Structure 1
Amino acid sequence: MSVRRAEPGDVPAMSRVLTASIIELCAADHGNDPAAVAAWTRNKTPEGVATMLANANLLMFVAEASDRVGAVGAVTRTGEIALNYVAPDMRFLGLSKALLARLESELQALGFKEGRLEATSTAQRFYESAGWRPDGPQASGRVVNGYPMKKALAG
């Protein structure tokens, strides 16, 4: 298993991971509502992922196992974890944990003493088990609203 910076050649695989993860693993959040799924995955096409990868304010990473991209993550230069998704068929291999550790390290390298993210209902327990704590009420105003969380970063 390895975690590395994402590259342009990873875009198709990243798109597949993001879309499959949202559709198959996040039903608790989108309720299998086609409109909610469409809204959430709209920018997860290869073109959308390429745009994200080109965004200088977003640092994107992939976790691989058996030479296959199995998880996708990103941090912002403003101190947030913006993405952390795993392929449904690659869950429970440690990819998400390894990716989260890398994302936290990247935030530290950017000078942040505290990280922030917005967790899905699906991922809340995962983040809590990694030391993240609730940081306010559920967000509102979007088709899918997450839960703000924060964590003091070592260092």
Structure 2
Amino acid sequence: MLIRRARPDEAAEICDVLRRSIAELCGADHHDDPAILRRWLANKTPKIVEGWIAHPDNFVLVAVEEETVLAVGIVRHDGEITCNYVSPDARFRGVSKAMLAQLEAIAQDHGNDVCHLISTETAHRLYLSAGYEDCGVPQGKFGTTSSFPMLKRLTGESHTS
């Protein structure tokens, strides 16, 4: 597996990973409610993903095996992780943890002492196990019952991206 910058020509495949991850793996969040899924998936289109890749404040990464996208992650220059989704085909293989470590390294390389994110119910344990702490009242994103504001203080030496 290799984690690298996403390319605009991968937007459709990235979009497929995002949509499948949400629909198939985030049942604890959307409870198979069509209205919640519709709202959550509304901005997961190839054109919007291309915009995320092109946006100068974003670092959009993909985890790939050969040329198959296994996961996508996004960290902003300010240390906010806005995306960390894994394909159902790659779940429980350490891909999300590896992606998270790379997103944190990029944030730290850009002068951030903290990473912050809003976790789904599904990913909450992953982030807790990676050293994140809850830092606010759970919210409801896209109509879900809980989304957890979290942060992690970054320590150690910086990495090269």
Shorter-chain TM range is over 0.9
How far apart are residue 34 of structure 1 and its match?
A: 0.8
SS of 1:69's equivalent in the other structure is strand
SS of 1:4's equivalent in the other structure is strand
**Alignment-derived partner of residue 117 in structure 1:** 117
Q: How many residues align?
A: 155
Unaligned 5+ segments in structure 1 are none
Moved more, 120-129 or 88-97: 88-97
Kindly tell me: are residues 79 and 24 of structure 1, through their superposed partners in 2, closer, same or farther at Cα, counting changes over 3 Å? Answer: same
TM-score by length of 1: 0.94
**Alignment-derived partner of residue 10 in structure 1:** 10
- The percentage of counterpart residues that share the same residue type is 43
**Alignment-derived partner of residue 147 in structure 1:** 148
SS of 1:44's equivalent in the other structure is coil
CA RMSD of aligned residues (A): 1.3
Q: Which amino acid in structure 2 is aligned with residue 25 of structure 1? A: L
SS of 1:43's equivalent in the other structure is coil
Matches within 5 A, 1:34-73: 34-73=34-73
Distance 1:96 1:14 in 2: 15
Q: Which amino acid in structure 1 is aligned with residue 42 of structure 2? A: R
Distance 1:100 1:88 in 2: 17
Kindly tell me: are residues 140 and 22 of structure 1, through their superposed partners in 2, closer, same or farther at Cα, counting changes over 3 Å? Answer: closer
How far apart are residue 78 of structure 1 and its match?
A: 2.1
Unaligned 5+ segments in structure 2 are 157-161
